[in-house]
Structure 1
Amino acid sequence: MTVTDGTPSIPDALARLPRVVDLLAARAEEHDRDATFPYQGIEAVHEAGLLTLTVGRRYGGPGAGLAETVHLLAQLGRGDASVAVLAADTLLVHAEQARTGGWPAALYRRLLTESRRGPALLNTLPGEPGEHPGTLARRDGTGWRLHGREGWCAGAEALAWMAVRARTDEDQPRTGWFLVRGDSPGIELDPVWDQLGLRAAGGQEVLLDDVAVAADAVVGLTPPGRKGEPAAEADRQVTTAWRELALSAVHLGVARAAQEWLVSFLGRRTPANLTEPLATLPRYRAAVAEIEVSLIGAEELLHGLAARIDRGERSAALRTGAAQLLINRSATAVVQQAVTLTGNPGLSRRHPLERYLRDLLTGRTHLPSEDTTLDALSTALL
């Protein structure tokens, strides 16, 4: 099974990143202002071979690990955080398939064929937290029919496939993942997305009204509350670790973009009461150095943990909750400090800094809240 003839190697694909990042950055302000979907940016990521970088080698893909994935997403985040989030959702699905083989073989083969023809965006709709998803799956002959409403779904208007977590209407309900074509009859999108940031991510509510799902497009049906086998639990921990570090990489990329803009601004900004740019003043030089220290620390944490997870160190996967909290605190603090240092220009929509801040604040919704992370850590310790 192959993705495409001439699939680029990981180094070749990553070598195309600078051009892709420049293209994303050139259109990011426009898409943010109008809340329009970044089709051109997604196409550029796809054409560079980056959207399928995590397709497993057994499927003919490059088989990128987490280390390469966080590098890729941090760079995409520098260009346009919305495109980076959409790419992350797709890369994470392919990466999990490479590790666990959860998708039925025939269905995944179909997905790879679609990925050869053009961008095939993917997303997972886990529903509300807890053991009882709001979406209901009813028997229909040998298959199923889905009924429900799923909350914010990035890329909803352009998804090739979505994995929907639902519960069955059986006497003893089970929960599982129902693999649904994005253009299936019965799917409607409620255009409620009007968020502070990530405005180009196209997140909408998904209404499922009698959506047909074949019997062989359902994965992992189990009774609620049943604990998985130790191996399955380890797989779940690695899946969570990939997601936490992947999205943290996007946020760190945004912070790097903010730092780059700040350095450029300070180098050319000479207030009327000065004869030299702000970059010559000790206060600003010290602040820029502090920002660099924060970013270096966050990047070392991100890339170090990613490499350890690639080596199979289970202890590393258990630390990504704390790591994502630290990384995202650092990224947010960096951008807030940049806004403080630049004053009114930093808050002007003529410049990208205020967009970077809005994207970071909105991006928090993609990861566990600080309270959730801290509660899990305290529970393990106490």
Structure 2
Amino acid sequence: MAGVWKSLIKNARHEKLYEKALRISEEAQKHIVKTDRSASFSYETLKVIKEEKYPSFSLPSEEGGENLSLYEFLLMQEKIAEGDGAVALSIGWHMGVMMELSQDNLWEKVAYDHLVEEVVREQKVVNRAATEPATGSPTRGGVPETKAVKRGNRYIVNGRKSFTSMAEHLDYYIVSAYVEDKDTVGWFLIDRHQPGVSVDKTWDTLGMRGTASDDLVLKDVELREEDLVEVKSEGKPLPKGWLLHIPACYLGIAVAARNDAIAFAKDFQPNSLDTPISEVAHIQDKIGEMEWKLMQAHAFLYSVAEKWDENPDQRKGMGADLAAVKLAVTNTANEVVDLAMRIAGGRGLSKKYPFEKYYRDVRAGLHNPPMDDAVVTMLAKQAISDDE
């Protein structure tokens, strides 16, 4: 899709970042059959991610990162997702967490500096582990069943976290827990090698199997007081621009499906036709529909990202913009992949072709936060409030 990338890449820095994302994307694609079949994350892909020093890119340049803007972050994430959406979504969580920690000053300096040093020096990867079977998505406000109990100057943590992307490959987990002595929810930074930490291979889903989002199990994990790096703050949380890595990921999947559908249409010629099916009117209609849907999705996603980058003073009021982008782009991505499946016809259901995987993977975007119903309710309440 040279036309879209040509319009998105605006300078030499963008070209450099694109090339790095392309290398990760191409490596991820090499392992896509194995990781999808075994619900695993590729060690080889993670090695390339670290060789490109991508884990440190979202940190400020003065701390050893590349000071990625939101626009640049999404550009790279979308390109990686063209190779494998599961890889993009997985590493996107780490990238977003580091962007959030660097910009929002959520931690004490000592704890933050320690993590940054390891990310920059060794390209270590981290993710928040917040979801639990009983509470569902943490965005719905459930209190974690994972508990931290104070014993002397130590915390003992017990619990189980689901949907922990790249669970076996993470170097650190940022784990939410109910902190008994503080009567609030807090987050602990836990080293993967800490005694009592294990991964239960539970990930067996329809789509995004390559995220290897297995369960993180914590059994009598003994932590220092300073490992409690964050506590829940009162008041309305600030909008998180980095969460746009979610729609960027699913848009990348849709672009990959579009590319393969066009290649298929140009190559496939049944014996009932004198030309490839790309010359058939209803196939061209579907290709044209994919194009205008993708044009709209790209325009919406990247215009909001530019607004975020260029107007820091407006970010507090951008919650609705960010949520609307997620709803619009992930739903559009599903529509584009569906059109690609229709172009491929029955062959699209065969594992000899990539379409059925795009179809399975892209649906996962509908279940990443924020959920469609929550976004629609937010927009409705805002519209009613603005009109009073």
Q: How many residues align?
A: 362
Q: Residue 156 of structure 2 aligns to a residue in which SS?
A: strand
- Is 1:214 the counterpart of 2:198 in the alignment? no
TM-score (norm 2): 0.88
Partner of 1:62: 66
Post-superposition offset of 1:154: 0.7
Q: Single out whichever of 370-379 and 350-359 deviates more from structure 2.
A: 370-379
Structure 2 counterpart of 1:242, one-letter code: W
CA contact (8 A) 1:29 1:352 kept: no
Post-superposition offset of 1:373: 1.7
- CA offsets 1:228-282 (integer angstroms, 9 cap, x no match): 3xxxx4xx3332x321x11100000000000000010000000110011001112
Post-superposition offset of 1:50: 2.0
Post-superposition offset of 1:131: 5.2
35, 42, 65: which is aligned to 1:38? 42
Going from structure 1 to structure 2, the CA distance change for 1:332 and 1:280 (only over 3 Å counts) comes to same
Partner of 2:234: 227
Going from structure 1 to structure 2, the CA distance change for 1:345 and 1:204 (only over 3 Å counts) comes to same
Partner of 2:197: 187
Aligned equivalents of 1:207 and 1:44: distance in 2?
Answer: 28
Aligned equivalents of 1:13 and 1:142: distance in 2?
Answer: 45
Aligned equivalents of 2:272 and 2:173: distance in 1?
Answer: 57
CA RMSD of aligned residues (A): 1.9
Q: Residue 36 of structure 1 aligns to a residue in which SS?
A: coil
TM-score (norm 1): 0.89
Partner of 1:23: 27
Q: Residue 163 of structure 2 aligns to a residue in which SS?
A: strand
Aligned equivalents of 2:17 and 2:330: distance in 1?
Answer: 27
Q: Residue 300 of structure 1 aligns to a residue in which SS?
A: helix
Post-superposition offset of 1:323: 1.3
Aligned equivalents of 2:109 and 2:195: distance in 1?
Answer: 24
Partner of 2:334: 332
Q: Residue 239 of structure 2 aligns to a residue in which SS?
A: helix
Structure 1 counterpart of 2:231, one-letter code: L
Q: Residue 54 of structure 2 aligns to a residue in which SS?
A: coil
- CA offsets 1:345-377 (integer angstroms, 9 cap, x no match): 111100111101111112333222212222222
Partner of 1:310: 309
Partner of 2:10: none
Partner of 1:242: 242
Partner of 2:256: 257
Going from structure 1 to structure 2, the CA distance change for 1:102 and 1:11 (only over 3 Å counts) comes to farther
Partner of 1:114: 118
Q: How does 1:125-204 map to 2 (within 5 A)?
A: 125-127=129-131, 128=135, 129=138, 130=141, 132-170=143-181, 173-204=183-214
Going from structure 1 to structure 2, the CA distance change for 1:299 and 1:358 (only over 3 Å counts) comes to same
Aligned equivalents of 1:281 and 1:365: distance in 2?
Answer: 35
Partner of 1:5: none
Q: How does 1:272-311 map to 2 (within 5 A)?
A: 272-311=271-310
Q: Residue 238 of structure 2 aligns to a residue in which SS?
A: helix
Partner of 2:3: none
Aligned equivalents of 1:68 and 1:105: distance in 2?
Answer: 26
Post-superposition offset of 1:198: 1.2
Partner of 1:74: 78
Post-superposition offset of 1:119: 4.2
Post-superposition offset of 1:104: 3.5
Aligned equivalents of 1:162 and 1:300: distance in 2?
Answer: 35
Aligned equivalents of 1:283 and 1:379: distance in 2?
Answer: 41
Q: Which runs of 5+ in 1 are unaligned?
A: 1-8
Going from structure 1 to structure 2, the CA distance change for 1:11 and 1:94 (only over 3 Å counts) comes to farther
Aligned equivalents of 1:178 and 1:259: distance in 2?
Answer: 42
Q: Residue 192 of structure 1 aligns to a residue in which SS?
A: coil
Aligned equivalents of 1:185 and 1:255: distance in 2?
Answer: 42
Partner of 1:368: 370
Post-superposition offset of 1:117: 5.3
Post-superposition offset of 1:188: 2.1
Aligned equivalents of 2:78 and 2:183: distance in 1?
Answer: 41
Aligned equivalents of 1:10 and 1:329: distance in 2?
Answer: 27
Partner of 2:9: none
